[in-house]
A and B are shown apart, each in its own frame.
Chain A
């Protein structure tokens, strides 16, 4: 089956990117101990996007708190709603501690996910999740800086769908990438990861 094959090849490419990314983090940590100014590939960093009200939202708005960040789009039938409902569950489970974290949903499809659209979409799950979108260039930059895989796939009638990274990113208060929570990861392993993120 062609689709399966395409998906498989794509997946290997994704593995390569992920492996490169993970080793980059390892290398970076290692390098930082000795030569802080060494130029290395980094995941994450400052960004400028637009929130659900159409207002500028930057990394400064995360207030130095650790962040759970997901990249998706509202045309998504499955991974995005599932992940948002997982997030909602984590928030509920954490109780008041959830206030010490940021929960962020970044659109990889800014052309269709206007602030208005993404605000309503995310709020339907939990208003504590911050909806973010932006100009095509703003989103492109974040996607690149965060080593997110996001690709437009044209459909026969001019429409398109998006391939995108399905994992939730865990960032510490300095916006350093510290790991991911994978798609449909059970709460039994996701929650301890989140609690650890909170403690660090």
Chain B
């Protein structure tokens, strides 16, 4: 209950606070929002995209994969920097969003990974990526492209 009240409050703040926030998508019991990616340098072959998924259902959900036309492969990855070493792995089983919880795909953590980019992502463009969920099925999500090296999807002035 408390969480819901907080969510409502947060949503209100979000809506009144900024018009630049990406729209949130309702997909079954899932709320998908704050999707973003960053511009890539010329000749870069890898890119990551990020998004926040809230599971409002009473059952765990699972993000199993992603599909796009932008790269040879689009996958769900986990990245971690532990004691100075960066490791990145494809999640063959996808990633679970526990019932009632929010999963943030974000820099330094889970991400949609583009491997073998066909062409660089340019700031100001938008990517269309299909996220695939185990039970809820596929959903199209728009990822605005922020500047190179951006650390969040928030607009910079």
A residues lining the B interface (CB < 8 Å): 3-4, 6-8, 10-12, 14-15, 18, 74-79, 81-82, 84-86, 88, 112, 116-117, 120-125, 149, 153, 155, 157, 159, 161, 163-167, 180, 182-184
Q: Given A7-B80, A81-B40, A120-B42, check contact A76 B86 (CB 8 Å).
A: yes
The digit string for B96-117, where 1 denotes a CB below 8 A from any CB of A, is 0000000000011001011110
Nearest residue, chain B, Cβ from A150: B85
Is B41's CB within 8 Å of the partner chain A? yes
B84 touches A166 (CB 8 A): yes
CA distance A74 to B117 in the complex (A): 11
CA distance A81 to B111 in the complex (A): 15
Is B154's CB within 8 Å of the partner chain A? no
A125 touches B80 (CB 8 A): no
A10 touches B43 (CB 8 A): no
14 contacts between A and B (CB under 8 A): A4-B80, A14-B82, A74-B44, A78-B111, A81-B40, A82-B151, A124-B42, A125-B41, A125-B148, A159-B73, A164-B86, A166-B84, A182-B84, A184-B81
B84 touches A180 (CB 8 A): yes
Taking the closest CB of chain A, its distance from the CB of B18, in whole angstroms, is 23
Q: Given A3-B89, A78-B79, A81-B148, check contact A14 B46 (CB 8 Å).
A: no
A120 touches B41 (CB 8 A): yes
A14 touches B83 (CB 8 A): yes
B84 touches A84 (CB 8 A): no
B86 touches A77 (CB 8 A): no
Nearest residue, chain A, Cβ from B90: A155
The digit string for B32-48, where 1 denotes a CB below 8 A from any CB of A, is 00000010111111111
